[in-house]
Amino acid sequence: MKESARGAWVIFFAYVFWGVMPVYWKALASVNSAEILAHRIVWSCVFSLFLAAARHRISDVISLLRSNRRAVLLLALSGVVMTANWGIYVWAVNDGRILEGSLGYFINPLVSMLFGAVIFKERLNKIQWLAIGIAAAGVCSEVVALGYLPLVSLGLAFSFGAYGLLKKISAVEPLVGFTVETLLLTPFFLAWLIWRQYSGAAHFSHGAWTTLLLAGTGIVTSAPLIAFAWGVKRSPMITVGIIQYTSPILIFITGAVVYNEPVSSVRLFSFALIWISIAIFTAESLRRAKRAGG
């Protein structure tokens, strides 16, 4: 299998995993969103350090921190963007805004495709631009229906789009990069968690199930992100944009079917426009791939 095809499959499975993640965060609905975010970062650091040690990459982590200021700066920036994305999403799920989160991740591939076209000079033809235009119309319809700018959706879209862009331009191996990202953030969030534990406001160790789920945030967070970072380096941004629709479709189904969030006719129309754009864009991309392959 070609390197780009392997990357695409890895990204696909990462997005399937993310698509069902609302179920995990709903199981932690009794915990403050900021506390969940802090645990995600700290336990992700623990998990990534364990993986790095198992793969004999700790020396690479130390070397990067000591000698590559540019890479460390990029990773610090991507870490901040990643934290914003995590925080918005966990809060949205536990505040009953799963469908707004879904919309954000429907918009996100448009951001990736535009980054690909503008920054990496990946070419889009008229049909693909039409598909993007239809999706943008769907987003505008949702804005009109809500009566306000969907900041949750836009925040998710642009934060994860920026994260993907930073991972694309970074020359750092995915596991090493993610380990450094979380290492740079962990001291701040660990200090805050210790303070909450000392003040009696924390949920950790107050119930076996909640404690297990909070500790497990490291695995459920790190594994798909490391896989995504590995895949995005091997795939065109346009391909990444197409695959990204897997996650919001699953999130939409979870919010509407599992948690019974209301789906108005206007909201359904907005999503229908976006789904039509997906079909057009995917069909055209497959046609171009087939032509390129002869």
pLDDT of 237 reads 66
pLDDT of the chain, 294 residues: tens digit per residue = 577 778 888 888 888 888 889 999 999 988 889 999 999 999 999 999 999 999 999 999 999 999 888 889 999 999 999 999 999 999 999 888 898 888 888 777 778 777 877 887 777 778 878 888 888 888 788 777 777 777 888 899 899 888 888 887 877 888 899 899 999 999 999 999 999 888 877 788 777 888 999 999 988 988 888 888 788 777 776 677 677 778 888 888 898 888 888 888 887 888 888 888 878 877 777 777 677 665
User: Burial level of 199, CB count in 10 A (0-12/13-18/19+)?
Assistant: exposed
153/157 Cα distance (integer angstroms): 6
First to last CA, the chain: 18
Q: Which long-range contacts (CB under 8 A, 24 or more apart) does 52-59 make?
A: 52/175, 52/176, 52/179, 55/175, 57/173, 57/175, 57/176, 57/179
At 292 the pLDDT is 64
Evaluate whether 3 touches 234 at the Cβ level (below 8 Å).
yes
**Alpha-carbon span 200 to 1, nearest angstrom:** 53
How far apart are alpha carbons 165 and 167 in whole angstroms?
5
Which pLDDT score, from 0 to 100, does residue 294 have?
Answer: 52
CA distances from 93 to 12, 105, 248, 280 (A): 22, 13, 13, 30
pTM, two decimal places: 0.82
Amino acid 121: pLDDT: 76
